[in-house]
Amino acid sequence: MKIAIACDHAGFMLKDDVLEAIEQTGNEVLDLGTYNQEPVDYPDYAEKAGRAIVQNQADRAIILCGSGAGASIAANKIK
């Protein structure tokens, strides 16, 4: 299974741990960013994760942000 992961700057510190856990289960990772702690807008990364599912680039997606609320709302707007 291919799992996309995307995060904003607030979720960046957790990303490496999540990537490692995904890979340990034998799944493939599609890393959609962000790649550092510089401030970014979470909706941009939530959209990347949602689009990866719609475009069949990934089977599932994980989004990491400060609270999880805004990113989940943004991702769920993608049909």
Element (H, E) at 66: none
Q: Which residue has the tokens 């990772």?
A: 29
DSSP 64: E
Residue 79 CA neighbour count, 13 Å, CB half: 0
Q: Is 7 a catalytic residue?
A: no
Q: How far apart (Å, rounded) are the C-alpha atoms in residues 57 and 36?
A: 23
Of 3, 52, 63, 65, catalytic: 65
Instruction: Catalogue the active-site residues.
Output: 65
